[in-house]
Structure 1
Amino acid sequence: MTPFERRTRRAQARLVDAGADALALTPGRNLYYLSGVDTEPSDRLTLLVVPAEGDPTFVVPALDAASVRDATWVTDVRTWADETGPSPALDPLLDDLSPSHVLLADRMWTAVSLSLRDRLPEATVGLASEVLAPLRRLKDDRELDALRTAAEAADATMRDVRALGTGAVGRTEADLAAFVEDRLEAHGGTGIAFDTIVAAGPNGADPHHASGDREIRPGDPVVLDFGTRVDAYPSDQTRTVVFDGDPPAAFEAVHRVVAEAQAAGVAAAGPGVTTGAVDRAVRDVIEDAGYGDRFVHRTGHGVGLDVHEDPDIVAGGDVELEPGMVFSVEPGVYLHDRFGVRIEDLVVVTADGTERLNRTDRGWRL
């Protein structure tokens, strides 16, 4: 049994518990998670229907049938032609299934969702995440291996960034971002997991700054947030460094507070600990230092096929951590028009604590 089939069978057991008859998934991370088919949504319908019992069925455009069959363990692949549309393949499948409650892909195009609801007027609908999110929180060995390898590519890239030393001064944020992306590929990654953030000087006070044409200057704190993918799984690491010169007043103190908060969050995590307790451990350090109102986002987020997925490490979160969960711990302090500091590692929950997936130097000095 492939990992994809094992996940599908676990999802079917959860369908029964949820009182649902079927999952209906269009292209996206959840479809890949169950089938192994990695494709983009298009105007031609691709749909995976997973019943609560029995085997799943793909409905795909005829021109994509060969690639789908090569990629998946699913044996029932029904095709449709442009001149007929999907109805000849889809309608008999839905008629045979006659679901009373079906869970749709959370990010299904509205046009597809409305079409399915027209075809199933008596059925109620819900979201596939009701069943799949709890499964995807717990990574299997294959997923953890990919996440570790992606993290190693990010670590190696950060070492290359540090090795630039004063040579980074005078480069634009966009130029340094391009360097980062080149090194991620050189170290075995595939593309970028998200838009690379290089935020120099006051731009670092914007947590989601888009790398631009500002040149890095002596004394600039530079926030670098980047990642790549390995076998579809991402890395996500943030460091804040100064390439040359003396940083602004208060920077060293703020960086020390953020580093202590990040360490406190990692230390607090473990089996049975709630996500809210991890957030609280981080936030206490920053609040005690007087920067509570400058920590403007959650402590972290789950990481898997999506860079941001369950569970959120957020104030009041009540999800209990379990071995196999992977998430970021990324506190930040942002001082408007001055600078920002963020430090981020991915961690995996183990039987007795956590394992950091990122191991590079967290200090600001090169």
Structure 2
Amino acid sequence: MTAFERRTRRTQSRLGAVGADALALTPGRDWYYLTGVDAEQSDRLQLLVVPTDGDPTLVVPTLEAASVRDAWVEDVRTWDDDDGPWSVLDPLFGSLSPSRLLLADRMWAQYALAVRERLPDADVGLASEVLSPLRRIKDDRELGALRAAGQAADAAMRDVRTLGADAVGMTEAELTGFVEERLAAHGGTGVAFETIVAAGPNGADPHHTGGDRVIGAGDPVVLDFGTRVDAYPSDQTRTVVFDGEPSAEFRRVHDAVREAQSQGVAAVEPGASAGAVDRATREVIEAAGYAEAFVHRTGHGVGLDVHEEPDIVAGSETELEPGMVFSVEPGVYLPDRFGVRIEDLVVVTEDGAERLNHTDRRWRG
């Protein structure tokens, strides 16, 4: 049995537990999670229909049949443009007669409305009700891909540090290009999200992307980037100074953020709450006098999506379990001056946490 079939069978068990009769997914991350097929929604409807019992069915246009040939799902039903998808889906839904149907959270509205029109008596919910609890616990295959993606990001970060004084005079955009080239050189596929290179005062914007600002001596530079390996992403942040001496306040802030990140990772263990991890980072930054400058949650779950469950946020009672993967990324942002963020991904283990990133966290190392 493949990992994708095992996930589908677990999904079927959960469907019954929540009183749903079937799940209908359009292409996307959930579709990949259950089939291993990477596809995107288009103007031709494709659906993976998973009943509570029995085997799932893939419904695809004839011209897309080849794209799902590697899926473990054996029941593949095709439709032609002349007849349309409902020539296949109406009989399928008729045989299932679902009283409660869960749809992909990101299904295009035109398709969700069409399904509801065809099944007016069915209660319609969201697929995340059953899939989110499953996806937040990673299996061995997923953890292997996440580790490999983390290694690619680590290798790229080491290459960035070797630039040293040669980075001074580069623009943020030029350094972005260097980062992305090194991610590919170390086995990554594309970027997991838009690369962040933020120099000097631009670092005070948590989501600034590389522009035409020239990196100067003494400039703190926030670098937040990742790539994908076997569809799973990395996500690492370091704040560095390539040459020259930064301000005394930057040094204080960086020390506080590095200690906060360390305390956050130390708080990760099975049974702890997500809110406790957030609190561990926030207490350090509050004690340093920068509570108001820590403007975001401590972390977010990472899997097929770069942002998924669980959120590591103040007040969360979500209990940490082995196999969860999330970021620990405290930050301090001082407008018109600089920002500091340090981020690693961690896996909850049976007795603590495993870091997926291992590069130097100092501002110059």
TM bucket (normalised to shorter chain) is over 0.9
Q: 1:71-92 deviations in whole A, cap 9, x for unaligned?
A: 2100011001112211111111
Q: 1:286-327 deviations in whole A, cap 9, x for unaligned?
A: 111111110000000000000000000000111111111100
Q: What aligned pairs does 1:1-366 form with structure 2 within 5 A after superposition?
A: 1-69=1-69, 71-366=70-365
**SS at 2:163's partner residue?**
helix
| TM-score for both structures, normalised by structure 2 | 0.99
- d(CA) in 2 for partners of 1:289 and 1:166? 30
- d(CA) in 2 for partners of 1:287 and 1:28? 40
| TM-score for both structures, normalised by structure 1 | 0.99
**SS at 1:240's partner residue?**
strand
- d(CA) in 2 for partners of 1:37 and 1:62? 16
- d(CA) in 1 for partners of 2:95 and 2:118? 12
Q: 1:113-164 deviations in whole A, cap 9, x for unaligned?
A: 0000001000011110010000001111010000000000000000000000
Q: Quote how far apart the aligned CAs of 1:267 are.
A: 0.2
- d(CA) in 2 for partners of 1:122 and 1:83? 28
Aligned-residue sequence identity (percent) comes to 74
| Matched residue count | 365
**SS at 1:270's partner residue?**
coil
Letter in 1 for 2:28: G
- d(CA) in 2 for partners of 1:215 and 1:83? 57
- d(CA) in 1 for partners of 2:160 and 2:3? 36
Letter in 1 for 2:313: V
Q: 1:19-41 deviations in whole A, cap 9, x for unaligned?
A: 10111100100000011111011
**SS at 1:208's partner residue?**
coil
Q: Quote how far apart the aligned CAs of 1:54 are.
A: 0.7
CA-atom RMSD, angstroms? 0.6
Q: Quote how far apart the aligned CAs of 1:248 are.
A: 2.6
Q: Quote how far apart the aligned CAs of 1:279 are.
A: 0.4
Q: Quote how far apart the aligned CAs of 1:356 are.
A: 0.4
Q: 1:50-88 deviations in whole A, cap 9, x for unaligned?
A: 00111100110101112212x210001100111221111
- d(CA) in 2 for partners of 1:361 and 1:333? 19
Question: Mind listing any 5+ residue stretches in structure 1 that lack a counterpart?
Answer: none
- d(CA) in 2 for partners of 1:162 and 1:208? 21
Letter in 1 for 2:255: R
- d(CA) in 1 for partners of 2:276 and 2:22? 35
Q: 1:221-270 deviations in whole A, cap 9, x for unaligned?
A: 00000000000000000000001111134000000000000000000010
- d(CA) in 2 for partners of 1:50 and 1:118? 20
**SS at 2:31's partner residue?**
helix
Q: 1:95-126 deviations in whole A, cap 9, x for unaligned?
A: 11110111110111000000000010000111
- d(CA) in 1 for partners of 2:235 and 2:140? 19
- d(CA) in 2 for partners of 1:100 and 1:170? 64
Q: Quote how far apart the aligned CAs of 1:217 are.
A: 0.7
Letter in 1 for 2:31: L
